[in-house]
Structure 1
């Protein structure tokens, strides 16, 4: 069923919350190309969020390490339209692709009840939300529950309650992305896949704010 012009504008302004809108984007792929200056091939990846990829409802702060959701955001007509920017979904990517190694970063969650954290191919489609296609792998928090998401399929994750801070552990060669309970210093759930190209830390947000902490050592208990 075709979306009305009014609803289309609203979705673009609000970043199309998954809690209210189901289904995939139009499926247009971004032409694969290296559009970052550097790539991480060792450990202890350090990154900032890339404003060029951010949906217009997302504002970056604290030197591009944090992101806050704003209901109306910025008028899309006032935001530079580039192939890198997510158009329909409130998503932003980090500025450093990862192509090898084991890496760990954490996310502080403030006043958010619906968000996703994970990784995505640097050329993932800007017309789809992370977690709904074969080029992104995320952990989603919605309606006070956690899910692992690949190609739109949701697998419940047994992490109870609303988090204040979580960790992500990426093992590129092993094809493993793990959600980490930072209080217990243990892996809660692992997504297993095969990465075929460089991936970037990815974030989707429909309320509140997220603050990223990168450049961290992998905790001893997770080595």
Structure 2
């Protein structure tokens, strides 16, 4: 059974305090997007979109990796644009997905608190991934795995913490899967009805993570 939790308990805020958060908040985004293209086939290839990155996140390794900085940059030193996450340590991939079946992996061995998944490209930048109906993520915190969307958590049973995980998205089937890359098998799925273009989405509250895209889907996943 899904367990609702308040967003203030789920996301760590860098430098500010949020007293309330509504999942119905929306951001007014410009017509011109800073994404590369719309992906409709397999072998999703993306980098991280620096224009969306919260001020506590640094990108590295040709914009495929993220490092969390507890203090971060002074937000006033960053370009002011409506694409950037202002309150939460979140960054999007620079590719939009509107159809197809896609697979990517993330190295997470240097972080103990993170979220990985997908979100509507036009999701409110006032929200954190997982706290609204526009994002679907798998997360790790307090040595426990969970699936999260619309501010509800479902525990995911895993043995230990792998160094690397896979994410499988089937847009038409409305499925997001967490993949054990060693087996490989799908450990847990989130069911949804995707209607709008999606972006790979990442939240990070300590350490670092590295994304790996342009991969073939492992054989045997259904």
Give TM-score, length-normalised by structure 1.
0.88
**Residue-pair matches, total:** 209
Larger deviation, residues 104-113 vs 29-38: 29-38
| 1:217 corresponds to | 216
CA contact (8 A) 1:122 1:198 kept: yes
| 1:178 corresponds to | 177
Instruction: Judging by fraction of residues, say which structure has more helix.
Output: 1
| 2:15 corresponds to | 13
CA contact (8 A) 1:13 1:76 kept: no
Measured in 1, the distance between the counterparts of 2:22 and 2:206 equals: 21
| 2:77 corresponds to | 78
Residue 60 of structure 2 is aligned to residue 29 of structure 1: no
Flag the 1:123–1:58 CA change in 2: closer, same or farther, 3 A.
Answer: same
Measured in 1, the distance between the counterparts of 2:151 and 2:159 equals: 22
Equivalent residue of 2:108, what SS? strand
1:39-78 alignment runs, 5 A limit: 39-78=38-77
Measured in 1, the distance between the counterparts of 2:197 and 2:74 equals: 31
Unaligned runs of 5+ in 1: 1-9
Residue 206 of structure 2 is aligned to residue 204 of structure 1: no
Unaligned runs of 5+ in 2: 1-11
Measured in 2, the distance between the counterparts of 1:38 and 1:215 equals: 14
**1:139-182 CA deviation, whole Å, 9 max, x = no partner?**
01011111100111000111122221000000000000000011
Measured in 1, the distance between the counterparts of 2:214 and 2:130 equals: 24
C-alpha displacement of 1:12: 3.9
C-alpha displacement of 1:183: 1.3
Measured in 2, the distance between the counterparts of 1:218 and 1:11 equals: 35
Flag the 1:177–1:183 CA change in 2: closer, same or farther, 3 A.
Answer: same
CA RMSD of aligned residues (A): 1.9
Runs of at least 4 residues off by over 6 Å: none
Give TM-score, length-normalised by structure 2.
0.89
C-alpha displacement of 1:26: 7.8
Measured in 2, the distance between the counterparts of 1:160 and 1:87 equals: 34
Flag the 1:22–1:105 CA change in 2: closer, same or farther, 3 A.
Answer: farther
CA contact (8 A) 1:28 1:126 kept: no
Residue 86 of structure 2 is aligned to residue 87 of structure 1: yes
Larger deviation, residues 28-37 vs 58-67: 28-37
